[in-house]
Chains A and B, each alone.
Chain A
Amino acid sequence: MSRKSVAQEAEEILLASDMIRLGARLQVLQTETSLSYDRLARLYREIRKASPPKGMLPYSVDWFMTWLPNIHATMFYSHFQFLNTHTPSTGTRALIDGYRLYLEQANAGRPESTDSEPVLSFTRAWMLLRFFDSNMLQLSDCTRCGGGFVAHAYEPKADFICAICQPPPRAGKTRARAAKKTRRVANTV
């Protein structure tokens, strides 16, 4: 192994701090940069003013199949894919830029943005790319709108209809929204 160049290390620190600001967990940083655990943990504490959270990463392919997460994951992935294939920003940079674009969209699309937590966290977005890399997910083309949506790998694509063209009957009727509605009704009465 050759000695690490200072310029490269500086670049990696910048990448890592961008990722920390977007909410990346330490495991993500360790995979995406070659910085040591100690330095990353110190950087994390400097930026977030808190110790990095411990424990396992959310590991679930099925999470991406549920209705709202599927739409959000697809939105992020299409931005990422464009950046990664068509622009000079590739790899980790594309992950960061793609996630920023996604955040912007996700916040604009929400009718009532009371909770600031995005549906797809940065760490989840990173997991999504890992799942694509390891051939656990694929994009299936919707037969109605032609868009590619995140789906289990090797699932038949023949008459796939996406989550937006055909939302499940109870889509968008979450407990949180129902609670909000009853509260509003209570206020007006």
Chain B
Amino acid sequence: MSELNQDLLADIHEINLSYLMLAQRLLRDDYATGMARLGFDEDVASLILELSPAQLVRLASSGSVICGFRMNDYELLSALTRDVLGGILQQAHSAILLAQQATRAPIGSQATQASQAAQPAGQAV
């Protein structure tokens, strides 16, 4: 097994730390909107918000990247990279698909949740 270059390792730590700090800033600025931007659910959001700087640093100094790629789905990514109309709509498309990711069913449990998602959600309005 080859040792990872120290520079690369430092870069990973940096990405981790800035991701966690950005998440905290977004949540502090506007909790609900921040959750929407990050794609967090309520438990994770409140936990991240409470982390102390020392905890952040400890969490960040792992050898692997801690933030996940949110488009980790072949179908989704290929739909997004398909060139339609010169790519004007790509931003809109990714916004729609990312926002719906959490509300809609992950592949596999589609049968139960798809019917739920089809129902109007805005009952409180």
Contacts and interface: CB of A to CB of B under 8 A. Distances in A.
B113 to A, nearest CB: 11
B41 A80 contact: no
A152 interface: no
B97 A109 contact: no
Interface of B is mostly: helix
Interface of A is mostly: helix
Contacts of B82: 165
Nearest to A137: B120
B118 A101 contact: no
Given A146-B75, A148-B104, A167-B85, A83 B36 contact: yes
A83 B125 contact: no
Interface residues of B, number: 39
- The 9 A-B pairs of least Cβ separation, nearest first, read A145-B79, A89-B32, A91-B124, A132-B120, A78-B99, A87-B32, A109-B91, A129-B122, A78-B100
Interface in B35-90: 35-37, 41-42, 45, 75-76, 79-80, 82, 84-85, 88-89
A123 interface: no
Contacts of B99: 75, 78-79, 81-82
B125 A86 contact: no
Interface of A: 32, 71-72, 74-75, 78-95, 97, 100-101, 105-106, 108-109, 111, 126, 129-130, 132-133, 135, 137-139, 141, 144-149, 164-165, 167, 171-172
A65 B93 CA distance: 17
Contacts of A172: 85, 88
B10 interface: no
B97 A145 contact: yes
A44 to B, nearest CB: 20
Given A78-B103, A97-B33, A86 B41 contact: yes
Given A91-B124, A146-B79, A85 B95 contact: no
Contacts of A81: 99-100, 103, 121-122
A109 B125 contact: no
6 contacts: A75-B92, A90-B124, A95-B125, A97-B30, A145-B76, A164-B93
B91 A133 contact: no
Contact of B100 (A93, A100, A147): A147
Given A81-B99, A108-B91, A100 B120 contact: no
B122 A80 contact: yes
A101 B33 contact: yes
A106 B125 CA distance: 23
B121 A132 contact: yes
B31 interface: yes
Contacts of A101: 33, 36-37
Nearest to B34: A87
Nearest to B116: A85
